[in-house]
Structure 1
Amino acid sequence: MVHETPYVTAPPTVEHTRPAAAATLLALMHAQGEVERLSEREQLLSSLLVSVNAVLWAVDWESRRVLYVSPAYERVFGRSAGLLLADHREWRNSIHPEDLDYAEHSLHRVLEHGAVEDREYRIITADGQIRWLSDKCYINQQAEPGEPVIVVGMAEDITEKKQLELELHRLATTDALTQSSNRRHFFECANQAFDSACAQGAPLAFLLLDIDDFKEVNDTYGHLEGDQVLRRIAESGRGVLRRGDLFGRIGGEEFAAVLPGCAPEMALQVAERLGKEIQQLTFSYDGQDFNVTISQGLANLSEQDSTLDSLFARADAAMYEAKRLGKNRVVAG
């Protein structure tokens, strides 16, 4: 009988196993390297996002769900990012009430234009500070049809820039001594008020006032005391005039006011009250008290006034008539 030896697979030799093990090892090393590189990139991205001062954000437009907000949110807003991710209204509730309508309407313009790059509005931080933001918004153009519309944005804190702009504007439009409008700014605003009154057929009054014998004040008490007189008259003017009235220093001792929507009778009452208020001011120099008075010229808008210059000229002539008649009075021209 022939005995058959069962077929037995020979164990793999070292030569057979070495390539497979090496390939596996290389694959594992490659995978580990990819993981490490991904981790390094994530760490780099995370550190970059932490260092960026602008607030990066992304919102699902349909659900209004905040998908992402960068670490700068907590620094700028002083609020928890977790609360914002849980409820998008946290951002809306931070916006200054006066800017809320603008902020919401401008955000909706993103759907029409694809991007809005000129949004500037104020927020109120958790500790009550008011900050200015420049918020640029875009629609994610990579979204496929039927996919959610994702609006992404970058909100930058521009508070310092805005404060500088406001200060430069104040310096350009304000009389340094009296903190009233300077001549150029006053007449710019006055011309706008004049055009608006003419277009609407509304009343308008122009009041011109000059300090009586101001040269004697400077000669007798000195220019420092004269400056104090100018400052306090400016304070009285701003205090007596109504909200929306314009007031400015347009010359050395000459001030002017424009009263939009003010009928002639009311304008005369305002001028008389201002004259009495200034006459009651008391100044003291080296133990000696003194007072000042003003002469005022009042002109009310009429059909003959085609420009502000004509209204100003009538007020100027009326003011000089008040001087001629003995000062310390109002003359309507």
Structure 2
Amino acid sequence: MANKNPPAPPTHRPPEVAQTLLALLHAQGEVARLSEREQLFSSLLDSVNAVLWAFDWESRQVLYVSPAFERIFGRPVSLVLADYNEWRDSIYPDDLEYAEHSMAQVLVKGAVEDREYRIINAQGEVRWLSDKCFINQQREGEDRVIIVGIAEDITDKKQLEGELQRLATTDVLTQSSNRRHFFECAQQAFDTAREDGSALAFLLLDIDDFKLINDSYGHQEGDQVLQRIADSGKAVLRRGDQFGRIGGEEFAAVFPGCTAEVAEQIAERLQREIQRLSFTHGQQAYGVTVSQGLTGLTAADDSLDSLFARADAAMYQAKRQGKNQIVRG
């Protein structure tokens, strides 16, 4: 007897349908993984405080900049992608020539990793960049020169370096050069004068009766005297002159390109400026004076030490002659 029941539906899909479904599932998985990678990559770029960039050398076109550009430069990414001058015009004017020349060196060297220059961002802040750049590996037959790089904001590092340099070279109390830094600068000035055959003057000054000030009014009052005299020295000296505290109550100055005769006029102004200073301790008012020894570079001077020794001898002669005066040695 024939079976009149309809045939049961197949329990398995045709192989080609199953393969198609598997392929779709695999593709969806790949898309999901790619999306995750893109999100991760985008998140990493957002968190890095450095600008990744790509630049077409021939067309002078920025091909890519990472999101940090907007944080560091304070300008929209779209502007620099449209016009390379948005980056170029942000460079601090004094650093522009160096920045352009150093990037051009990548064409010769293949990589430049020691570029440091300043920019002025849209808010008017000066920022330091460390900008490393490389020639991108070109595909065979491709003539375009693509430079890629990473520009890191190192402003905080530069500020710390500057502060450490200031602490290493500055007398903490008077904010003038300390002894070591002063004599380093004085040696450079001496060497330059010897090479160029130019003039150089050296001045030493010592506060008269400084021990009496400390004993009578206390060391805090003595510190104020030192600070005020240092301020007077920095106010009177010319740009390019070097001034520093080289001992307890002893200061020194170097005058590059200056004869002893001209330096003496500056020393006289400093003498008058110091004589005008007025101090008070309680109800007691008092003033201070200094003794100065001055000398100029001669043909016989073969070292900075000889110049210093002559100025030192002249200063002590000023002390012996009654103080509050300038003696040339």
Q: Does 1:79 align with 2:75?
A: yes
AA aligned opposite 1:236: S
Q: Secondary structure at the match of 2:113?
A: strand
Give the aligned partner of residue 183 of structure 2: 187
AA aligned opposite 2:286: F
AA aligned opposite 2:15: P
Give the aligned partner of residue 113 of structure 2: 117
Q: Secondary structure at the match of 2:277?
A: coil
Contact between 2:138 and 2:145, CA under 8 Å: does it hold in 1?
no
Which of 175, 197, 203 is matched with 1:207 structurally? 203
CA deviation profile, 1:16-59 (whole Å, cap 9, x unmatched) = 98233233333333333332222222222111111212111111
User: 1:273 and 1:264 mapped to 2: Cα distance?
Assistant: 14
Which of 160, 178, 185 is matched with 2:174 structurally? 178
Give the aligned partner of residue 30 of structure 1: 26
User: 2:273 and 2:317 mapped to 1: Cα distance?
Assistant: 21
AA aligned opposite 1:141: Q
Give 1:15 deviation, angstroms.
11
User: 1:40 and 1:287 mapped to 2: Cα distance?
Assistant: 78
Give the aligned partner of residue 50 of structure 2: 54
AA aligned opposite 2:312: D
TM-score, normalisation: structure 2: 0.93
Q: Does 1:100 align with 2:96?
A: yes
AA aligned opposite 1:168: L
Distance verdict in 2 for CA 1:186–1:143, change over 3 Å: farther
Give 1:14 deviation, angstroms.
7.7
CA RMSD of aligned residues (A): 1.8
Ranges in structure 2 where 5+ consecutive residues have no aligned partner = 1-8
AA aligned opposite 2:86: E
Give the aligned partner of residue 297 of structure 1: 293
Give 1:164 deviation, angstroms.
1.2
Counting only pairs closer than 5 Å after superposition, residues 275-286 of structure 1 correspond to structure 2 as: 275-286=271-282
Give the aligned partner of residue 8 of structure 1: none
Which of 78, 87, 92 is matched with 1:91 structurally? 87
Distance verdict in 2 for CA 1:222–1:84, change over 3 Å: same
Give 1:250 deviation, angstroms.
0.2
Q: Secondary structure at the match of 1:94?
A: coil
Counting only pairs closer than 5 Å after superposition, residues 1-333 of structure 1 correspond to structure 2 as: 18-333=14-329
Q: Secondary structure at the match of 1:161?
A: helix
AA aligned opposite 1:318: A
AA aligned opposite 1:94: S
Give 1:141 deviation, angstroms.
2.4
AA aligned opposite 2:78: G
User: 1:197 and 1:112 mapped to 2: Cα distance?
Assistant: 38
User: 1:58 and 1:287 mapped to 2: Cα distance?
Assistant: 71
AA aligned opposite 2:64: Y
Contact between 1:143 and 1:149, CA under 8 Å: does it hold in 2?
no
Instruction: Report the count of equivalent residues.
Output: 321
Q: Secondary structure at the match of 1:196?
A: helix
Q: Secondary structure at the match of 1:206?
A: strand
Contact between 2:274 and 2:289, CA under 8 Å: does it hold in 1?
yes
Distance verdict in 2 for CA 1:308–1:283, change over 3 Å: same
AA aligned opposite 1:82: S
Q: Secondary structure at the match of 2:41?
A: helix
CA deviation profile, 1:287-320 (whole Å, cap 9, x unmatched) = 2211111111111011111110000011001111
Ranges in structure 1 where 5+ consecutive residues have no aligned partner = 1-12
User: 1:35 and 1:160 mapped to 2: Cα distance?
Assistant: 41
User: 1:216 and 1:329 mapped to 2: Cα distance?
Assistant: 19
AA aligned opposite 1:185: H
